[in-house]
Structure 1
C-alpha cells in the first residue's frame, strides 16, 4: 500500500472512531430527546441500519477529505478545522433546511441545532484527529 493511501486510511479510521463516540453521545444526550419532543411524529419506530451505516461511511470520507486532509502536510490545524466546520455546516444544512422546507411542522429549532452540530462535530473530530496524527500529518507522504 502506498504511503498516501495509508495516511488517508489511517486518518479515516481515527476520524471514524472519534466521530462514532462523539455522535453516539450527541444522539443519546441531545438529539433523541430533542427529536422526540419536536418531530416525534416524523420518526420511524426503529432507525434504518443500512442507511445509518452508509451515512457514516460517506460522511467520514468527506470529513477526512475536506477537513483532516492527511496528505496535505502544509495545511495548518486552523485550515483543517475550518474546512471541516464548513463541510459539517453545508452537509447538515442540506439535510436540515430541506426538512424545514418540505416537511410539515419541521421546527426551526431542529434545523438550527442540527446545522450547529454538524459544524461543531466536524471541527472537534478534525481537531482531535489532527492532534493524534500530528507527526503523520506534518510530513509529506511519499508518492
Structure 2
C-alpha cells in the first residue's frame, strides 16, 4: 500500500475514534439536555442511524483533509488546528444558520452553541490526533 494512503487511513482511524469519544461525551453530558430544553419539539424519538453514520464518515474525512493533513509534512500544528477549526466553524455554521433561518422557533443560542462546538471540537480532535501521530505525520517518502 502507498505510504501516503497508509498515513491518511491511519489518520482517519485515529481522528474517528477521538471524535467519536469526544462527541459521545458532548452529547451525553451537555447537548442532550440542552437540546431537549431548547428544541425538544424538533428532536426525533430515535436518531436515524444511516444519517448519523453518513455524517460521521464524511465529517471525519473533512477533518483529516482540512485539519490533520497527514501528507503535508510542512504544515505546522497551528496551521492544522486552525484549518480544522475553520472547517468545523463553516460546516456547523451551515447547518445551524440554515436551521435558524428556516425552522420555526429555532433558538439563536442553539445556533451559536453548535457553531462554537463545531469549531472547538474540530480543533481539539485535530490537536489530539496530530499530537498522537506526530512522528507518522512528519515522515515523508523519499523518492
Normalising to structure 2: TM-score of the pair? 0.98
Q: Does 1:110 align with 2:110?
A: yes
Structure 1 residues 66, 102: closer, same or farther in 2, change over 3 A?
A: same
Tell me the secondary structure at the aligned position of residue 46 of structure 1: coil
Which residue of structure 2 lines up, in the alignment, with residue 46 of structure 1? 46
Q: Does 1:124 align with 2:108?
A: no
**1:54-65 equivalent positions in 2, closer than 5 A:** 54-65=54-65
Which residue of structure 1 lines up, in the alignment, with residue 134 of structure 2? 134
> In structure 2, how many angstroms separate the alpha carbons of the residues matched to 1:106 and 1:30?
18
Task: Tell me which stretches of 4 or more aligned residues in structure 1 moved more than 2 Å.
Answer: none
Which residue of structure 2 lines up, in the alignment, with residue 23 of structure 1? 23
Shift of 1:141: 3.6
Tell me the secondary structure at the aligned position of residue 84 of structure 1: helix
**1:91-110 equivalent positions in 2, closer than 5 A:** 91-110=91-110
Aligned residues: 143
> In structure 2, how many angstroms separate the alpha carbons of the residues matched to 1:83 and 1:70?
13
Structure 1 residues 142, 91: closer, same or farther in 2, change over 3 A?
A: farther
Q: Structure 2 stretches of 5 or more lacking a match? A: none
Which residue of structure 2 lines up, in the alignment, with residue 12 of structure 1? 12
Tell me the secondary structure at the aligned position of residue 91 of structure 1: helix
> In structure 2, how many angstroms separate the alpha carbons of the residues matched to 1:58 and 1:142?
31
Shift of 1:52: 0.3
> In structure 2, how many angstroms separate the alpha carbons of the residues matched to 1:126 and 1:95?
21
Normalising to structure 1: TM-score of the pair? 0.98
Q: Structure 1 stretches of 5 or more lacking a match? A: none
